[in-house]
Chain A
Amino acid sequence: MSEQPSTDHLKDVAGDCVHCGFCLPACPTYQLWGEEMDSPRGRIHLVSQLLDGAPLTPATATHFDRCLGCMACMTACPSGVQYDQLIEAARGWTEHPDQAPAGPPARADAPADAPAASPAAISAPARFARRSLRDRTTRAAIFAVFPYPARLRALTAPLRMAQRTGLDKWLAGSGLPAKVSPAAEAALRLAPPSAKRTAGQRLPERVAARGPRRAVVGMLTGCVQSVFFPQVNAATARVLAAEGCDVIIPRGQGCCGALSGHSGRHAEAMRFARATIETFEQAGVDAIVVNSAGCGSAMKDYERLLADDPTWAARATALSGRVRDLAEFLAGLGPVAPRHPVPVTAAYHDACHLGHAQRITRQPRELLGAIPELRLVELPDAGTCCGSAGVYNLLQPQAARELAVRKADSVLASGAELVISANPGCTLQISAELAQRGKVIATAHTAEILDASINGRPR
């Protein structure tokens, strides 16, 4: 398949790493375990070994799987290593071990004298890192459901029912889900309380600007966002309209491909990307505003994803150039709508796909800081992932849980009454952990707080 970047290109990217280690303290998995193989520098080294022809060992695949894809390492790296490209390639190899750089045997100086007693010592490339059956089934299930809002809605109905009846508490208490599958247990723990079914949940195709029109923007509704957090999409549309934007919400839009792309399912990601490009091209908008950090970063990356596809490259570049995160867009546009006080002490949590992948940290703080009576506190570990990371919390439940525990500790210590973030996954992750401790700290999306301030909507 031609969808993987060339080995030479990846070698160049890996070659930018000077092994200085500045990324280590920024990496959540290094923070957890303190092991080189679970650090960015170590993972880059593993990728280099594979590029040089080493066979993919099960242990190596595990280290790629454990990477959250939070890109904190890229923010920390003075040498500008494009780690995102390396980990995406590595995820491709772990998904399809037969596509890992085959060919030449390991470098001449490779350890020929690996300890014989080593259980993991691999002698021939024949022994691929096959995932366990359970792991493969979980992955297949996730990718068959999450990118499709209708399926997601249908599947989560029983889950909602369980929550409403208190069944969830009983189930969790019984420890049964964990015994059946850690992923099932995590899914149960993380499912949001049944979203308030507000009237008019389905957004209109067009929301007109209030006052003079300043821009015409498209809006991505997203899969998880539209199913679990329809109120965030509604708030986004209201805020944009209040700031003078005509908001176009194309009906036909599907998944943007973020989940697939970040998990090494390149062909699937490209398929979703092409469809999304087509949909928004037809919408005829100045900018495409995205309120979900993971989707935004994936769409800004279409340019690279489709770079080698002659019929799509130019269209992908054009589309990526028009994608804006909501906070980025609003800060750039400048406020016109008057703000009302929102008297609350709030912590802003940087979603990794916004803070690290898109390097947007200033704009949301500016927007929130400008709200009268809203006191913004900083979390000391603001740059560290909460463990949500797309579907990571379903695939690596234990590590995700440990990171959630740390994040919840720091939220509690900050004295915040409200946690604001731009990614549904983070909000779910943090509030679930707090709820486990019986702590009720409200969580909200940036759009909801702006909406509350501008439109006076109680949350």
Chain B
Amino acid sequence: MTISSLVPRMSRICGPGNVVTDPLELRTYECDGLTSHRATPALVVLPCDAGQVAAVVRECAAAGIPFVARGSGTGLSGGAVPREDGVLIVMSKMRRVLEVDPLARRAIVEPGVTNLAVTQAAAPYGLFYAPDPSSQVVCSVGGNVAENSGGAHCLKHGFTVNHVTGLEVVTPSGELTWLGDGTGVPLGYDLLGAFTGSEGTLGIVTKVVVKLTVAPQAVHLVLAGYATLAEGGRAVSDIIAAGIVPAAIEMMDALSIEAAEAAVACGYPQGAGAVLLVELDGPATEVEAELATVMKIIEAAGATEVRTADDPAQRFAIWKGRKAAFAAVGRLAPAYIVQDGVVPRTALGDVLARISALSASSGIRVANVFHAGDGNLHPLVLYNDAVPGEAARAEEVSGAILDACIEYGGSITGEHGVGVDKSRYMPRMFSDDDLDTMQLLRCAFDPASLCNPGKVFPTPRLCGEVPGHHRAPHPAVVSGDAAAAGGDQGTAPQSPPMEIF
């Protein structure tokens, strides 16, 4: 069946106003927050409820047409890049907060609700939704689930996966089902955990049950300016070594400070080589005690300027600079790549030094914004796409940064996901067997490979397909512990089993 023959069916399901076919309109959906990967979808649908999502997916499944879910399109790994031969299912019309239960401290929301809207709905009860990506004003909870998003405060409070207790999902065959029972205590296989962070490849989220956290009694934010990143880094290590787990420890370098200042006039120390933000939250007495220790450490590390803020307006003003940093970098260069490498905290200094060396030798500027507390780096690799060859050089620097992260025992992504952008780096981190095991899970959910295909895995494959590098079926299949992936379609592995025991 061709996609155009789906149009009347989709219009019947979602209403004609919620099916997009105009070529220019379609192109506005060609990319997410990472503009270097683009594809114009053949069709865009905007369903209004879970039933419509399920019906849309069933049509796609029946026609063998690939589909991709999209939330607010702020992803930074190209996870929501559409398929030119497929349907883009946009969740932005499903944005109702369905329930806030202050006693059970949980909320049930539709996937298109923004992260911040959950906190706003919980605020009257003295509660908040803890994972706070910098994009929280706009990113959707559905997208957060798909990417297992984190934020500045995840150091203490945990990532999305720690705050989602139930999901209503449409499986890739169009079945509506629940994962997790809303209690947060998994029974049997933790499918909820497996789904969270699956980057839209295991199905489409249509409802999310989230935990709400009691707003802390006291919150104290300390802002410190340093001449160098190394000094700021020392303060970070010393704070953690002192046994304190701050709600957040963030660092920014000179370039990103400059950008944030230009964007939101956040009043960070002028001329500083690094700015460190440390937020403490909890019972007032505990925060007071920790604050005293933190101030000592910060000063001992050589801070040139220290400011503290405890009232919400002041804190908001300081955080605004950090949260605007990525987008603000748009003021420094026409284009940039946001990296998302993770390194052990102890290797922060070395890796940062490597990055500045890479920057110096290539002439490509790199700004640094990072979650210092958990070693999650966000180097922003700046380039001008109008200068021939510069994009390629930036890409090289970006890859070399990831290599450095892996070399020091870290990872290629902390919170932005693999998507299309980092799929080619997967083999640098995982063996073929690792990747095949992941593929088995994927195929269990999506045997027809229609749900966000081409993401996460380095080479697109169909379930049951034997890739070139692959000499044997997965050990679990050989031993009879697992069905051949895609087995229900009858595609058996073709190469003869190798002697492996």
Contacts and interface: CB of A to CB of B under 8 A. Distances in A.
Interface in B372-386: none
Contacts of A111: 23, 26-27, 40, 42, 84
A16 B23 CA distance: 24
Interface in B305-334: 324, 326-331, 334
Nearest to B25: A37
B27 A21 contact: no
Interface stretch (A119-127, A240-248, A341-349, A428-436): A119-127
Contacts of A16: 330-331, 334
A20 B27 contact: no
Contacts of B31: 19
A117 B30 CA distance: 20
A36 B25 CA distance: 8
A19 B78 CA distance: 12
Interface in A1-25: 15-22, 24-25
Interface in B101-129: 112, 114, 116
B43 interface: yes
A45 interface: yes
Contact of A120 (B21, B33, B264): B21
Given A18-B330, A59-B22, A35 B73 contact: no
Interface string B1-40: 0011101100000000000111111111111110100101
Nearest to B48: A34
B12 to A, nearest CB: 14
Given A20-B74, A42-B28, A45-B27, A34 B46 contact: yes
A46 B32 CA distance: 15
Contacts of A76: 137
Nearest to B325: A78
A194 B24 CA distance: 46
Contacts of B137: 22, 25, 76
A110 B3 contact: no
Contact of B263 (A19, A59, A79): A79
Nearest to A33: B93
Interface string A109-133: 1110111111111100000000000
A409 to B, nearest CB: 16
Nearest to B114: A25
Give the size range of B's interface with the partner. 35 or more
Given A20-B74, A20-B135, A115-B7, A78 B24 contact: no
B491 to A, nearest CB: 28
Contacts of B3: 115
A60 interface: yes
Given A37-B28, A80-B331, A109-B38, A20 B23 contact: no
A35 B84 CA distance: 19
Contacts of B38: 109
A21 B33 contact: yes
B268 interface: no
Contacts of B330: 16-18, 20, 78-80
A119 B17 CA distance: 12
Contact of A121 (B23, B33, B138): B23
B31 to A, nearest CB: 7
Contacts of B27: 45, 49, 110-111
A54 B24 contact: yes
Nearest to B264: A78
A61 B114 CA distance: 28
A120 B21 CA distance: 7
Contacts of A109: 38, 40
B160 interface: no
Contact of B138 (A21, A54, A63, A79): A21
Contacts of A42: 28
A80 B135 contact: no
A57 interface: yes
B95 interface: yes
Contacts of A33: 93
Contacts of B24: 46, 49, 54, 57, 59-60
B72 to A, nearest CB: 6
B463 interface: no
B326 A20 contact: yes
Interface of A: 15-22, 24-25, 33-37, 41-42, 45-46, 49, 54, 57, 59-60, 63, 76-80, 109-111, 113-122
Q: Nearest 6 pairs between A and B by C-beta?
A: A79-B330, A118-B21, A78-B327, A117-B4, A18-B330, A78-B324
7 contacts: A20-B326, A21-B72, A22-B327, A25-B116, A54-B23, A60-B22, A79-B328
Interface of B: 3-5, 7-8, 20-33, 35, 38, 40, 42-43, 46, 72-74, 84, 90, 92-93, 95, 112, 114, 116, 135, 137-139, 262-264, 324, 326-331, 334-336
